Amino acid sequence: MQRFNQSVINPAEFVAALLIAGSVTHASATDIAETTQHDYWPGRDKTIPHVSGDTNFSDTYQDWKDAAAIAAARAAGKASHEVNFKDFRWLVKSLDAELVIDEGREVFHRQNANGQSCASCHGENGEKLKGAYANLPKFNERLGRVVVGPSQIEVCASERLGQQDWRVDTRANSVLDMYVASLSDGHVVDIDVGTDGPLKTAYLKGRDLFFKRTGQFHYACASCHTPPTVGNYLRGQRPTTFFGDASQYPIYHFPYALPGDDLAHVFTLQHQIRSCQQLSRMHQGTEGSPSMTAIEVFLKASANGYPMSIPTQQYNLDTDYLEQ
Amino acid sequence: MMKKLKVMALLALTAAVLQPHLAAADERLQVIREKWTPGTPMLTEFLTLYPCHSEELPCGQLPPPEVQKVSFKGALQGDAKRGEKIALDVRWGNCIACHSLPGHTGGTVGPSLADYASRAPSLDYTYQRIWDTRVFNPDAHMPLFGTNSVLTEDEILDVMVFIHQH
């Protein structure tokens, strides 16, 4: 990051030089002309689809790559902002979320008029879905497109169970998503975006969208989720890098509610992307749409190699870091 | 009063002729401000006016806004109290999210502006920084407050008076 440094260059002279250079010749203002309009936030080429890719962005990976590393960093007295704010993000299980998971389990076993439920195909208590969420989003060959968890639930529910009201961003869909994800707790995220195919295409598209500058503020997702913003305080918020976190979604008890969402406390990754878009004054995408799916593929693949942890207490109740 | 209005109208017209890109930004700003009140959530209907992530909507194909170079003429006048309110309001200027300000501790993403006046920056520099920061750093995090119609010129001036005061 190049920062304009007032102690080195007098700003008034700098501006004057720009104006003169601009009016006389383009040649001497080449640097400015070439660099003043970036479509993308820097760092796109440093991403890799694995959680260890964080080392290309922050020097904190060794402090949170597993539970032992987090414990060691804490014992060494490292504060949250020194370890990328990852220390509290997945260690603490959410007890409150058990209620939501119970509700999801109830929906999973709820029978339609023909006595059919999710369990009819996927087994009692989702036996056949264990670990499945660690491989979502995935390419659905029958549909011919990549689907995220909520989209897969919507398709399944409407086509096989006749449940037309379990669409994405509904209570039934969100609690089901949470329940199915909880069946993969501890499974290691593995999204195959290395092989040529729709998933790889989606990953690259999602990566570009993540780094593309958009919205009224002209932010990219990466503006907040790469250093130097990461590790600094955005008022009350603590932005972190995009590596690893997708392994904890859907999350419970995020402090932001979405308009029109009747279950503000379950945040699917699609909800999260929309929430970020809203906060940074970008147009909010439609959940499950190609662009939103691509962003989720990029985020989830950036958690490859990290264990799923559902449900986590994402909203940090441990306030020790404030005193450090 | 009428005379003052006429002078202002003439000035605006002159500005529009000399800097047409400013006039275009101004028009969008007016459309937004007719319906949106500062301090309330931005109305989503206006967000498709800017580049977006979508594949289906035209905003997905919009290029990034053109860089706008501006200069500051005359003496700095404005309402420091209102500037402070704009700078602190999360749904108005929200400078505090990234910067510490005179009398207020804030975020650490941007440099502290608590002692901004003592650094004696030029008005041109400050105005351009707020209006379109890309002139100095194309990868800066700061929103394009002027270019993207986030704040009005009046509001930017008030914020400048606030951060320039000792």
| B positions 61-80 inside 8 Å of A (CB) | 63-67, 69, 71
- Cβ contacts (< 8 Å) between A12 and chain B: which residues? 122, 124-125
Q: Where among A182, A200, A219 does a domain terminate?
A: A182
Q: Which of B40, B53, B150 to mutate to test the interface with A (most CBs of A within 10 A)?
A: B53
Average pLDDT over residues A39-64: 95
Query: Which CATH number goes with the domain that contains A172?
Result: 1.10.760.10
Identify the pLDDT of residue A38.
78
Q: Tell me, yes or no, whether A268 and A298 share the same domain.
A: yes
Tally of CB atoms within 10 A around A316: 17
Tokens coding A311 = 């449900």
pLDDT of amino acid A265:
72
Nearest chain B alpha carbon to A274: B53
Give the SS3 label for residue A233. Answer: coil
Residue A274 has pLDDT above 50, yes or no: yes
Full domain range(s) for residue A173: 97-182
Predicted pLDDT of residue A18? 40
In chain A, the percentage of residues whose pLDDT exceeds 70 is 79
Q: Please identify among residues 230-249 of chain A the ones whose CB lies closer than 8 Å to any CB of chain B.
A: 232-235
Would you state the pLDDT for residue B24? 66
Instruction: Tell me, yes or no, whether A77 and A50 share the same domain.
Output: yes
Are A212 and A285 found together in one domain?
A: yes
State percent of chain A over pLDDT 90: 62
Q: Are A50 and A194 in a shared domain?
A: yes
Whether residue A160 sits in one domain with residue A83: no
Q: What is the pLDDT of residue A254?
A: 52
Do both A198 and A286 map to the same domain?
yes
Q: Which of A161, A182, A203 is the last residue of a domain?
A: A182
Nearest CA in chain A to B130: A217
Final residue in a domain of this structure, among A126, A156, A182: A182
The answer to whether position A223 is within a domain reads: yes
**pLDDT of A87 strictly over 70:** yes
* pLDDT tier for residue A6 given thresholds of 50, 70 and 90: very low
For the stretch A304-320, pLDDT in tens is: 999 999 988 665 545 45
**Residue A74 forms part of a structural domain:** yes
Same domain, A73 and A193: yes
Please check whether residues A280 and A209 belong to one and the same domain.
yes
**Partner-chain contact A213 B51, CB within 8 Å:** yes
Residue A106 lies in a domain: yes
Q: Do A215 and B50 touch (CB under 8 A)?
A: yes
| Other residues' Cβ atoms within 10 Å of the Cβ of residue A315 | 16
Average pLDDT over residues A7-21: 39
Same-domain check for residues A48 and A117 = no
Q: Do A313 and A94 meet the contact criterion of CB atoms below 8 Å apart?
A: yes
For residue A59, being part of any structural domain is answered with yes
DSSP for chain B?
-HHHHHHHHHHHHHHHHH-HHHHHHHHHHHHHHHHPPTTSPPPGGGGGGS--S-SSSGGGGPPPPPP------S-----HHHHHHHHH-TTTT-GGGT--BTTB---SSSPP-TTGGGG---HHHHHHHHH-GGGT-TT--S--TTTTTSS-HHHHHHHHHHHH--
Q: What pLDDT score does B73 carry? A: 85
Same domain, A218 and A310: yes
In-domain check, residue A267: yes
Q: What is the pLDDT of residue A81?
A: 79
Domain annotation covers residue A152: yes
Q: What is the ipTM for the molecules in this complex?
A: 0.86
Does A306 lie in the same domain as A275? yes
pLDDT at B61 over 70: yes
Partners of A292 on chain B (C-beta within 8 Å) are 53
Q: Is A92 part of a structural domain of the chain?
A: no
Q: How far is CA B156 from CA A19, A76, A93, A259, B52, in A?
A: 22, 45, 45, 30, 25
Instruction: Calculate how close chain A gets to B69, using CA atoms only, in Å.
Output: 9
Residues A116 and A155 in one domain: yes
Q: What is the pLDDT of residue A231?
A: 79
> Considering only residues 189 to 228 of chain A, which have any Cβ-Cβ distance to chain B shorter than 8 Å?
209, 212-219, 223, 228
Size of interface A-B (CB pairs under 8 A): 137
Is pLDDT of A156 > 90?
yes
A166 within domain boundaries: yes
Least confident of A83-97, A106-120, A192-206, B111-125: A83-97
Q: Mean pLDDT throughout A269-278?
A: 91
Mean pLDDT of A279-294: 95
Report the number of distinct structural domains present in chain A: 3
pLDDT digit string, tens, across residues B93-122: 999 999 999 999 998 899 999 999 998 889
**Residues 144 through 173 of chain A touching chain B, CB cutoff 8 Å:** none
**Which has more confidence, A290 or A239?**
A290
Query: Domains in chain B and their CATH numbers?
Result: 2-164 (1.10.760.10)
User: What dihedral angle (degrees, nearest 10) is formed by the CA atoms of A312, A315, A319, A323?
Assistant: 120
CB contact under 8 A, B69 and A228: no
pLDDT digits (tens, 9 = 90+) for B62-100: 999 999 999 998 899 999 999 999 999 999 999 999 999
**Does B19 lie at the interface with A, CB-CB under 8 angstroms?**
no
